[in-house]
Amino acid sequence: MLPRARPSASLRSVGSDRARFVAFTLAGLVALAALGCKRPGAAAQADGGVPDDAAAPPPAVQGENSHPDPPPPPGKPLLGITAFVTTVYAEPRDTSKKLGYLRVGAKVARSDEPVGKAGCPGGWYEIYPKGFVCAGDDATTDLESPILKAAAKRPDLKAALPYRYAFVRAVLPLYVKVPTAKQQYDSEFKLQEHLDWYKQNEATVNQVVLGAPDVPIDDRGVPVPGKHLGEMGLGKNSQELALGQLLGGETDADPIPFWLEGGKRLVPNISDFKVPDFAVFADRARRHTGLSLIGSFPTGEDHLNRRFAITTDLRLAPNTKIKPDLGSPWHGIELTDEFSLPLAFVRTQGAKTYRISKGKATPADDVEWRSIHALAGTMKTVEGVKYYRTKDKRWLSQLDVGLAVPPASFPEDAEKGKKWIEISITNQTFVMWEGKRPIYATLVSTGKAGLDDPKKTTATVRGVFKIRNKHITATMDSNEGSSVGGAKITTVAASHSPDGGGGKPAAPKAGDKNAKPGGKPDPKAPKGGKPAAKPAAPKPGAAKAKPAPAAAGAEKIPTRGDGEYGVTRRRGEGTFQLRDVPYIQYFESGYALHTAYWHDVFGTPRSHGCVNLSPVDAHRVFLWTDPPVPESWHAVNAGEDFGEGTTVIIHE
- What lies within 8 Å, CB to CB, of 25 at 6+ separation is 11, 12, 424, 426, 651, 652
- What lies within 8 Å, CB to CB, of 262 at 6+ separation is none
Cα angle, residue 335 at apex, residues 59 and 473 outer, rounded to 5°: 95
Residue 291 phi/psi, 5-degree rounding, is -115, 145
The H or E element containing residue 25 is helix 21-34
67 part of the active site: no
Is the omega angle on the peptide bond into residue 342 within 30 degrees of 0, that is, cis? Answer: yes
Of 373, 599, 608, 610, which residue is the catalytic one?
610
Distance CA 565, CA 169 (A): 6
Return the sign of the alpha-carbon dihedral for residues 193, 198, 199, 200.
Answer: positive
Residue 166 phi/psi, 5-degree rounding, is -150, 155
Q: Are 307 and 297 in contact (CB under 8 A)?
A: yes
Task: Show the 3-state SS of 439-500.
Answer: EEEEECECECCCCCCCCCCCCCCCEEEECCEEEEEEEEECCCCCHHHCCCCCCCCCCCCCCC
134 part of the active site: no
Q: Strands of 281-426 (E only): list them.
A: 281-285, 290-297, 308-311, 316-318, 322-325, 333-334, 343-346, 352-357, 360-366, 372-382, 385-390, 395-397, 401-404, 419-424
State how far the alpha carbon of 201 is from the alpha carbons of 191, 609, 642, in Å: 15, 38, 51
Buried b (16+ CB within 10 A) or exposed e, 216-244: bbeebbbbeeeeebbebeeeebbeebebb
Of 303, 373, 594, 599, which residue is the catalytic one?
594
Distance CA 87, CA 103 (A): 9
- What lies within 8 Å, CB to CB, of 33 at 6+ separation is 377, 378, 379
Identify the CA nearest to 9 among candidates 53, 51, 56, 43: 43
Catalytic residues: 594, 610
